[in-house]
Structure 1
């Protein structure tokens, strides 16, 4: 495969993978190479590969099997959802994200397992470790932030909610990296809402979880509008 060096790496990576799938490099039912190998082949970072494969999962080309890997499900996209999402305004995506994550947070507070709590705590700590250096390490910080939110959605144990969240990741990543680099999030009380969300899920308190997510997303939406 050619190394990808232009802008829009997530989209370009998804396109390159789609071409390889259509060409039969990985037949339907076969597993894709791991993130490290794909990243080396394409000349991009692991987070870029991760976001691109999530987009192709949403498009119906790939299937992610927990603990096993990512497998080719089809050689053609299932529908036009990816195109509709790509064309959507960022505020529209965030308004839908709020509805999704409010429900996910409430379900996570009810359904989380001990393993879920371990993943959520680890993701929270990884995010916290980057807070002070978030402007200089914007991509890493945003990636860690979205890993934390994904861990919460995963704890809801609703595969459809998780698939919808994953479809948002490329759009959210691009926007949030730009916002963080402009220091628009610095000085806002978003970190407190993440701690509140973690505490609410640990305490199995759906109402507190909903309040934490609502506060977090509302403040981010206001920052984007400003």
Structure 2
């Protein structure tokens, strides 16, 4: 029997109790949960609380609500967080996903960028350019300047979810790029030209050129990181 909930944040506590029961195998994958009335009685809460708790687990990917049929178990434990997955991923995997995100961001930025966005992009690229010659001596500052330019492109896409997704990559990207810069293995690669071409493409609203510039930049960085 699931223990009764008598105080506190009822929905959060109900979610915790349901997670415990799922992890314990009370309801195997593929089976349906008891109805709202039954769960409400077991938890000692109202049906609306049960409804919100199960909805949260649906969004988390553990349950599936089937109209007219009930709520079914899809998984017994929550999937790993994106941040955890990123830290376990290979560098090339991270950059392959980054390429997909930034190509889409660049294409959207071509269509949606404002004059304020362009001014921010120009300023970010100017700052990055100033630090190129001394990037090894000031690797942290250079990496931040580089990521600030790419962050500005994502922001110019004006897609909040895309921005949030890119933000989860930034710590891992910074660590990888810092290693690349510290080892001076970007020398001889044309990533700087690709950055300039990317800005020019967004200014000209040339989606194909913007996507090509992103691919050149990311793939050159992958090559450099592979040499590390």
Same fold (TM over 0.5): yes
Q: 2:82 — aligned with what? A: 81
CA RMSD of aligned residues (A): 1.6
3-state SS of 2:180 partner:
helix
Assess if the C-alpha contact under 8 Å between 2:143 and 2:178 holds in 1.
yes
Q: 1:103 — aligned with what? A: 104
Assess if the C-alpha contact under 8 Å between 2:176 and 2:225 holds in 1.
no
Greater Rg over alpha carbons, structure:
2
Query: 82-91 or 206-215: which moved more?
Result: 82-91
CA separation in 2, counterparts of 1:134 and 1:187?
14
Give the alignment's TM-score, normalised by structure 2.
0.63
CA separation in 2, counterparts of 1:128 and 1:104?
22
Q: 1:124 — aligned with what? A: 125
Runs of 4 or more, structure 1, over 6 Å off, are: none
CA separation in 2, counterparts of 1:93 and 1:215?
16
Give the alignment's TM-score, normalised by structure 1.
0.64
Unaligned residue ranges in structure 2 (runs of 5+): 1-78
Aligned length: 150
Q: 1:112 — aligned with what? A: 113
Does residue 224 in structure 1 map to residue 225 in structure 2?
Answer: yes
Shift of 1:79: 6.8
Q: 1:186 — aligned with what? A: 187
Unaligned residue ranges in structure 1 (runs of 5+): 1-77
CA separation in 2, counterparts of 1:102 and 1:80?
24
CA separation in 2, counterparts of 1:186 and 1:160?
34
Assess if the C-alpha contact under 8 Å between 2:103 and 2:214 holds in 1.
yes
CA separation in 2, counterparts of 1:186 and 1:211?
21
Shift of 1:225: 2.1
What are the Cα deviations for residues 57-86 of structure 1, in whole angstroms up to 9, with x where unaligned? xxxxxxxxxxxxxxxxxxxxx972221222
Q: 1:5 — aligned with what? A: none
Q: 1:147 — aligned with what? A: 148
